[in-house]
Structure formats: C-alpha cells, structure tokens
Amino acid sequence: MPSLAEPATCAAVAEALPRVLDRRADPPRGLSRHIEHCLVCQAELARYRRLLRMLAQLGRERAELSPGALADLLEAVEGAARRSVIRSALAGRRLAYGAGLIGGVLAAAALVTVSKLRTMRRPASV
Amino acid sequence: MSSLGRGERRDVAAESESLEQLTRAARRGEREAFERLVRETAPGVYALALRLLGNEHDARDAAQETYLRAYRSIGRFRSEAAVTTWLYRIAANCCTTQLSRRRVALPLEAAGELADEAHDGDPEAVAATAAERDQLASALSRLPDPLRAVVVLHDVYELGHEAIAAELKISRAASKVRLHRARRRLREQLFPEQRPGDASAPDAAAAVVRPLVRRPQEADEVHQGAVAR
C-alpha cells in the first residue's frame, strides 16, 4: 500500500478513502493533492462524504419505547434499586452481627485468660 | 440538515445541561433523577439497540439491561464523557452479548421504524431524504453483524475506536479494519458506480460527466443550430 505522503493514484485513493476519511477532517495531504486534480476521485470523495453525513443523521433518530415497555424498564430499575437497598441493609446487619460475634469471642477469650491467670497465681493448697 | 439554527443550538445546550444535572442527582442516589434520566435517554438507547439487533424484542431487553447496569454503576461514572456516550457504550456492550448468543443472524426488521425527529421544511426534500435514509438503513441491515456494529457505533454514534474495541471486545486494529470494510460495502450498495482505478476507469469518468449532459440529442441540436447559423 503506498504511503499517504506520496502522490496517490486513483486506485490508491479509492482504497484509502474509506479507511482515512473523518467526518470533520480533510483527507491526508498525499490524497488531497491527487484529488484536487482528479474529477473521478473528487466524485468518489463526495460519495463518501455524503455517506458519512447520512450515517450521522441516523444518530439523531429516536425510537420511542411503547408505554408498556418503558413501564417494564422502569419497574426493573425500581426492582434493582429495592434489591440494592435490601442488600446494603443486610450488609449493615451482617456487619453488626459480625462485630458482635467478634466482640463476644474476644470477651470470652479475655475471661478465660483472666481466670487462668488467677488459677496460676493462687498458691497450691496443702 | 447541515446546520442548526440558534434556537436549536440553545435547545441542545439546555438539553445536555439538564441531562448533566439529572446525572449528578442520580449519582447522589436520587432515584427519581435516575428515572427521569431513563425517560430522557431511552429513545436514543433503544434506537441504537434496534439498529444493532434488528428486532424490538431483543432491543427492549438490551435497553433494560443497559439501564440496570447503568443504575449499578452510575456512582462510578466520571463525567469525562457525555452521559449519552456512556449509555451508548453500555448499550453496545449489552447488544454484543446478545449478538454473541445468537447462532444465526436475524434479518433486521425494525430498521424502518426509527424516526428522525428533525424533519422539517420542503416536503420534496423530506421525501428524498426519507428515501435515501431507507436505502441506507436497508444497506446497513445487509451488513454482517460485526461490520454493522462498528460502523454504527463509529459513524452514527461517534464512539472512538478505543471505546468500540473495549465494548465489542476486539482490538483497535480490528475495529479500524471493520470500519473500512463496512464503509466500502455501504458505498458499493448506495452508489453502485464503478470505483476510481478499476479496470474500466473511463466508465467511471463518464459516470461523473454523464449527469452534466442529461440529453445528448439536445446537445447535438444545439451544436447543429450553431453550425447552421
């Protein structure tokens, strides 16, 4: 494939245009130099520009969801929102249970340790 | 339509500002704002899904999945891009998932049901535009799914190759190659004239000149008249 900086042939322009053409920018200089002097390639460029314009216009199209479909969609989002609230509430509760459990275990461990220490310090009775 | 009037420009700006406000409120967890965001953007998202998937049932599912994912991740949305671009990316991803589940490509039935809201003015021009648009929609529907997805996302919804590659799970290079192929096929279908540089290039040149001399016999008559004088 010839470099875009080199003077291009009609075949090279036709091959390169769909690859390099941007909606807002001119073709690279190597192509532009050829196109300026070639009616056939000017027509080809015009076709691609028209194609890009038509495609861009499709982007403005809107498709209204039927009221039922929109209601379903909103209900699904509402359901997700409810589940997320429940999940975060459960997560909070789980956190509280976990903290309580860990606290309980630590307290039990502390009690056992203290009672063991007391037993060790008490002199052996005859 | 090549340019927008001042009022329309203001409307577009106002619309995107209102979408930004809604997005900010939705990010703060205001459920009502998210619902309004859905109402405002769903027609665009649904149109994209319809364009990529070709039937209402799949497009509705994809739109629903898009908003569920958006709801879950709106807290992570960083307003670097427009919210519509973000939603289009999610929708593209949902549509790709749906397409990959399909074993056989379905014909695109619904492409003709989309409506351009911006039609106004001369009825003849509107009819010509509508005919062109239908031709384009039909040419798009004949493209293979992978080519159609890239050209729709790039040339219709203005996503970059980076974003397209990420959402379609392909490389950037593959995205560029598909765009090139898709544009070439569309050009061949919409303008079936010979390409420059083909074996019979003189035919192509004639095709350019032909519309300039619509009735050759008229030109002959003019020429003969001039000679007689």
How sure is the predictor about B120, in pLDDT bands with cuts at 50, 70 and 90?
A: low
Please report, rounded to a whole number, the percentage of residues in chain B having pLDDT higher than 70: 66
Give the B window 153-212 contacts with A, CB below 8 Å: 155-158, 176, 179-180, 183-184, 186-187, 190-191, 193, 195-198, 201, 204-205, 207-209
In this structure, are A116 and A96 located in the same domain?
Answer: yes
Position B1 in a domain: no
Cβ pair A48:B187 closer than 8 A? yes
Q: A75 with A116, same domain?
A: yes
- Look at residues A47, A24, A60, A63 and name the one whose alpha carbon lies nearest to residue B4: A60
Name B121's bridge partners.
none
CB atoms within 10 A of CB B31: 15
- Residue A77: give the domain boundaries: 67-121
Selecting from A11, A41, A63 the residue whose C-beta is nearest the C-beta of B47 gives A63
How many domains, in total, are found in chain B? Answer: 2
Using alpha carbons only, what angle is made at residue B135 by residues B134 and B136, rounded to the nearest 5 degrees?
90
- Which residue of B1, B34, B196 is in closest CB contact with A40? B196
Q: CB–CB of B166/B217 below 8 Å?
A: no
One domain for residues A90 and A47: no
Q: Measured between alpha carbons, how far is B88 from B82 in angstroms, rounded to an integer? A: 10
Q: Do A73 and B67 touch (CB under 8 A)?
A: yes
| Amino acid in the structure at residue A25 | A
Is the separation of the CB atoms in A74 and B35 below 8 Å?
yes
Are the beta carbons of B117 and A38 separated by less than 8 Å? Answer: no
- Give B58's contacts (C-beta < 8 A, 6+ positions apart): B49, B98, B106
Same domain for A76 and A108, yes or no, is: yes
Q: Is B47 on the interface with A (CB under 8 A)?
A: yes
Q: Is residue A4 part of a domain?
A: no
Q: Does B29 touch chain A (CB under 8 A)?
A: no
For the four alpha carbons of A87, A91, A97 and A101, in that order, the dihedral sign comes to positive
What separation in angstroms does the CA of A28 have from each of A35, A51, B179? Answer: 11, 19, 18
B147-204 pLDDT, tens digit per residue, is 999 999 999 999 999 999 999 999 999 999 999 999 999 999 999 877 776 655 455 4
Separation CA B8–CA B20 (nearest Å): 18
Q: Is the pTM of this model over 0.90?
A: no
Range of the domain at B56: 6-192
Is B128 part of the contact surface with chain A (CB cutoff 8 Å)?
A: no
Q: Encode pLDDT of B47-72 as tens digits.
A: 999 999 988 999 999 999 999 999 99
Same domain, B181 and B207: no
